[in-house]
Amino acid sequence: MSDYSQWSKEALIEHIARLEASASTTATAAGPSKPHTNPESTFEENAKGTSPLNHTKKQKGKKTQNLRPFDFSKHSARPIALKVAYLGWNYHGLAAQETGSGIPTIESALFQALYTARLIPDASGKGCNWTRCGRTDRGVSSFGQVVSCLVRSNLPIGAEGTYNWPSQSEPELKRKRGNDDDEDNEGEENIHETSQDLMDVSLPDKAYTPVPEDFSEIQYVARLNHILPPDIRILAWSPIAPQFSSRFDCTFRRYRYFFPAEGLDLKRMQEAAKLYIGAKDYRHFCKVDPSKNVKTYVRTVLDASVEPLRMPDSNLPTTTNFLAASNELKEDSPEVKVSPESFLVFEVKGHAFLWHQVRCMTAILHLIGRGLEPVSLINDLTDLSKHPDNAGRPIYGMASEIPLVLVECGFNDGVLDWRVDAEPISQVQQQNLDALYQSSDAFSQLVVNLWGQWREHSIKAAQAEALLQQISVDSFGSARNINYRQVFDAYARDGVLGNASGESGGYGGKSSKSYIPIMKRKRCDSIEDRTVKYNASKQNKQAKKAATTKNGSE
């Protein structure tokens, strides 16, 4: 047992808060109370309904235990940025919905984890100056989302810029709203403004002093990952200035879209991707929402490319050596050939993107790669002189949301100082790496947890492939001497893996025997027509509401 008589008051408070947060995790967290650090625990969790793939269903209808009142005024506060990675397949996007909606989102899970860890005072995120860098839609994932908020600190006032926790009577630091016209909700016209220029109220003016030797900061990464669902991970945290905004201080966003290479001409796609670079009008590469006040559809793409999927060199198990290691168990087992070129990656970097812009860009690239459209189609779609006046975009389906990933949010040098709560690995742990996954080191836990998720998905993929191979060989007594490789190539080429016109990038849909070129297709309503219809509908609803209110008051 620890000798608490030697602990400082602040250290004791921090220790008690940590114990209370850990005790409440069982009732409030989506996953189990222990961190998902044991790769073998995945199989037990599946039986209990808490695996990364079905934890959202487990949450439904689950009562949340109210935590004891916590007096934040007795603690210092500090603004921090969090780098977040998540697999968005089971979530309805990043942004939190209305309180009580029950719709699972990334932000709602983050708010709940921050609240459970006693880092913010409200489970809805109110009062913590929350900002996000890039808003991702339903099903979209991220490897480097950046959010910022005000959290409880264990440091004394002034250390690393901490200050008194603002009282509930004080106004929350508000920033002017930018346009909501973008895929990531960041208007390009706002992207170069400084966050200091966007503040509506004055900021705390506290002296910046070093951290005293007898104080240590809360381990934000370890604490939050202990509570969060396994498919949402905090990668790092950074101290920030109070006026920092992850939205307005972001200088660029980088997306990647993963898709199968079957039936696609890589050289044509690479040539076409370069035509995206520059400032162009992308109104024919997005979904229009007339409720948003979009001032311009011109967006600047800084870079765009299509390349074979290649994993970075590391000492971690990859698909190739993981399967190879499995085969080493049997000397007579056939050689396993895993080609990293079986997948392609479309990568695009820009200041900001319109709603569904990246998915539309991917769909057009896919058509060009299949030889259904000329490379020049991209210039034709962005050149408004080649379209009738007041014309909407040609009708075509956009690519699926599942393969899309926000991989990076860029900031100027020196703005962020990422920390991972990593601890030096002891000599004992170096000698017994088998037990490293039980370490309290936050980074080790993060890597092992993500590896466990990858391993689970790899096993599921292997099972699905084994079933496919077994069915093709079995044939239930029928002679099936068919070259399925040729069948699958034709399947992809003819758009059966896409939607009705093969635009979805290889995910879901039906085939189409006759292909109609994009520039000859029917068109959606123009932006102007949609705006007129929206305003008329809005006025009609307001009139009905006013009439109902008037009748109710009589």
Question: Annotated active-site positions, please?
Answer: 137
Q: Which two tokens stand for residue 358?
A: 């990246």
Residues 99 and 54: beta-carbon distance below 8 Å: no
Burial class (CB in 10 A: 0-12, 13-18, 19+), 32: middle
HEC string for 146-212: EEEEEEEECCCCCECCCEECCCCCCCCCCECCCCCCECCCCCHHHCCCCHHHHECCCCCCCCCECCC
Please provide residue 43's backbone torsions phi and psi, each rounded to the nearest 5 degrees: -70, -35
Neighbouring residues of 95: CB distance < 8 A, sequence distance ≥ 6: 105, 107, 132, 135
Residues 161 and 113: beta-carbon distance below 8 Å: no
Please provide residue 302's backbone torsions phi and psi, each rounded to the nearest 5 degrees: -80, -35
Question: Would residue 167 be called left, alpha or beta, if left means φ above 0 and alpha means ψ between -120 and 50 degrees?
Answer: beta
Work out whether the CA dihedral 434, 437, 442, 447 comes out positive or negative: positive
Q: Which two tokens stand for residue 491?
A: 């399947």
3-state secondary structure of 344: strand
d(Cα 235, Cα 339) in Å, to the nearest integer? 29
Q: Could you tell me which of 37, 184, 20, 195 has the C-alpha nearest to residue 116?
A: 20
DSSP, residue by residue, 77-131: EEEEEEEEEE-GGGSS-SS--STT-----HHHHHHHHHHHTTSSS-TT-TTS--E
DSSP, residue by residue, 215-281: -----HHHHHHHHS-TTEEEEEEEE--TT--TTTT--EEEEEEEEE-TT--HHHHHHHHHTT-EEEE
Question: Helix crossing, 220-227 with 442-474: angle to 10°?
Answer: 40
Residues 311 and 345: beta-carbon distance below 8 Å: no
Residues 504 and 498: beta-carbon distance below 8 Å: yes
